[in-house]
Every structure is written in C-alpha cells, then in structure tokens.
Amino acid sequence: MKRMMKTAIFTIVAASLFVLAGAAFAATEFRISNQLPPSHHISKGIQLFAQKVAEYSKNAVTAKVFDSAQLFKDTEIVEALQDNTVEVGLVSVNKWSGMIPVADFFELPFVFKDLTSPKKFIEGGAGVIFDAEFQKKGVKDLFWVDYGYIQFFNSKRPLTKPEDFKGLTMRSFGSGDAETLTALGAAPTVMSSSEMYMGLQRGPVDGATTGMPAAVSRKIFEVQKYLTIANYTTAQFVMQANLEWWDSLKQDEKDAILKAGKEAEEWIRGAIAQSEADAEKVIRDAKLEVHTITDAERELFAKATEPVRAAFEKKTGDLGKKLLEIARGK
C-alpha cells in the first residue's frame, strides 16, 4: 500500500514538473488575419511564412493563419492591429490612406514599369520610410506582398495614347485610380470587382482597370475586346504586426519571423510573375486584341498624368518627394 502511495506521489510530482517545464519552454503563438481565400497564391505564401517561422525558431514561435476574413475584413484589419485585437495581419497599403498620406503612393500612375520595380523601390530605402511611418501608428512591417500590376481593358477601341480614353466610361477600383482616369480624359465610375462583369456586360461602363489575373478569375475577358498592358500602377500589401506585441518578443524570435517573412516575400513575387504570365495567355487565347505600350507611348501617358503625381507630392511634402526620387532611381 505504502509502495503504491509512493509511486502515485512520484507520478504526480513528475507530471507537475513536466507541465512546469513545458510551460517554461512554451512556444510564442500568434494569429495572422488574412482576407484572401486559401486557394490564392498570396494565401499560400502566408502559409509558407507560418511554416518557416516555426522552422527558423525551432518551434519556439508558431503562427496560426485565418484565411477568408475569418477574423477581420480588409476594412477592419488596420484598427484590429492598432488595438492589438490580432497580432499580425495582411494589409493593403491604401487602407492607411487618410491616416498616412504617403500610403497613397502605390496608386500613383506610371511610377513603376515592371514586376522588378516595386522590389527595387522597397529595398532602395522606401521600405524603411514606410516602416517608420507605420510605427508612428502602432504597427511594425514584417514583409511586403506584391499583388501585381493594373491594366486597361475596354470594349470600344485600342488604347495606345491618352487621347484614346476621351469619351470612355471606365470602371475604377478607387479614388486614386479615378484621378488617373480623369487625367487621361475618361469618366471614372468606382465599382467593386464583384460588380465588374455585370457592369461591363450590360454597358454602364465601357472598360475597366484591373489586373490580368483578376480579369481571368472574374472572366471579364468574355465581355471585353481590348487589353492595353501598361503596368500603370501596382497594388501592394504589407504583412504587419501590432507594435506593442512585436516589442514584447525576444530578439531571436524577431529574427526568425523576419527571416521567414523575407522568404515568403520572394516566393509570392515569383508566384505573381507566373500568375501574370498565365493570365495573359488565357486572355490572348480568348482572342482579345492585346497591346503592350512602347517606351515612347509610356512617356506620353506619364506626361498626361503628371498632375496626379504633382498633387501627391504637394500633399505629402518632402517625404513624398523622397519616395518619388527612390522610385525613379535618383
């Protein structure tokens, strides 16, 4: 009987020590809010990020991804991060518009030329500038997410010069995009991507600004005749963390997260390049007339939209000017 009691006591003590030891070495766990569906290539990149966080931290840090806006919508994520309602989230940079004036940068027309340009811009000093601005608002940038380029679709005629836009009603995805279309002579109508197909099919709008992968997923190539590949603006997202939570981490935990983020960032950039190429093939196979603007044509478009960039620089002062200089390689 005494032996059984001693054995029981030993078992309880051992179990308690095991639990305490486990608690001492418990992993830091954080949640990631992602509004995109799990099938999206960016969502796959975020899953890779979570896997690499565990790998590089040797499971000292783990991340749980919540796709399809299970936690927060894209219109809610900024506030959620600032309030530390969630530790980490995917944020479209333009969601900071109004709070951070330079957040409108990525809606400027004809600043970037190809898929390598945003990376050069971020790594050339812009990333540091944006991170400092975001930290003033209580969040920390972990890594950048390139969504790809926006192009011109329409059903009326080839768009090879600014004058071709005159008289067209064009679907716009936002206010900055609308300013560009106005500068080109078109009449913009802000319309969600879910409304785009119906609007183009029934005729309230003659064309649309959207990316090629989105044009394929939304099947708008079925109701359009012309595509102008202009790479005139780019959509950029950033994975951000609540700053107070970030500051509470150990340095080796931060290092693991940033290393994982860099790897995910590069993977996503490779995925969007392939996605753009695949979408262009689908569009060409659908027999749309495709025109890729020449350098000379691009100069004409850039000149016509200069007032949009000038207004941004005036609104944002020296900081906006510095960002434009970085983008132009100065």
User: Is 5 a member of any domain?
Assistant: no
- Given a cut of 60, whether residue 6 has pLDDT beyond it is no
Q: What is the mean pLDDT of the chain?
A: 90
Containing domain of residue 114, as a range?
A: 26-327
Query: What single-letter amino acid sits at 106?
Result: F
- 150-175 per-position pLDDT tens digit: 999 999 999 999 999 999 999 998 77
Q: How many CB atoms lie within 10 A of CB 294?
A: 10
Task: Provide CB contacts within 8 A for 311, sequence distance 6+.
Answer: 179
**Predicted local confidence at residue 21, as pLDDT:** 40
Q: So what's the pLDDT on residue 304?
A: 97
The pairing of beta strand 207-210 with beta strand 139-154: antiparallel
- The whole-angstrom separation of Cα 175 and Cα 311 is 13
From 20-29, 65-74, 87-96, 209-218, the region with the lowest mean pLDDT: 20-29
Take residue 108 and report the two structure tokens written for it.
Answer: 């400027």
Q: List, for residues 250-265, the tens digit of each pLDDT value.
A: 999 999 999 999 999 9
The answer to whether residue 13 sits within a structural domain is: no
Q: Which two tokens stand for residue 176?
A: 């900055």
Encode pLDDT of 283-296 as tens digits. Answer: 999 999 999 999 99
Strand boundaries in the chain, DSSP class E = 28-33, 61-66, 88-92, 139-154, 169-172, 187-190, 207-210, 226-242, 289-292
Contacts of 117 (CB under 8 A, 6+ apart): 234, 327
SS3 state of residue 323: helix
Mean predicted confidence (pLDDT) in 294-305: 96
Is the predicted pLDDT of residue 10 greater than 60, yes or no? Answer: no
Residue 130: inside a domain, yes or no? Answer: yes
Tell me whether residue 157 is in a domain.
yes
183: CATH: 3.40.190.170
Question: How far is it, in rounded angstroms, from Cα 226 to Cα 297?
Answer: 17
The count of domains in the chain is: 1
At residue 300, the pLDDT reads 97
Q: Is residue 68 part of a domain?
A: yes
Counted residue by residue, the chain has a size of 330
Of 190, 323, 258, which Cα lies nearest the Cα of 52? Answer: 258
Question: Is there a domain that residue 240 lies in?
Answer: yes
User: Does any domain span residue 117?
Assistant: yes
Residues in CB range of 214: below 8 A, 6 or more apart: 193
Confidence of residue 11 (pLDDT cuts 50, 70, 90): very low
pLDDT tens string 184-221? 999 999 887 778 999 999 988 999 999 998 899 889 99
Q: Is 188 helix (H, G, I), strand (E, B) or coil?
A: strand
- For position 75, what pLDDT does the model report? 85
Locus of tokens 């796959």:
44
**CA angle (325, 272, 118) in 5-degree steps:** 5
Is 210 contained in some domain? yes
For residue 263, the cross-strand partners are none
Q: Which of 137-146, 216-225, 240-249 has the lowest mean pLDDT?
A: 216-225
Q: Which residues contact 126 (CB under 8 A, 6 or more apart)?
A: 323, 326, 327
- Its pTM stands at 0.81
Higher pLDDT, 225 or 113: 225
**Reported confidence tier of residue 313, pLDDT bands at 50, 70, 90:** very high
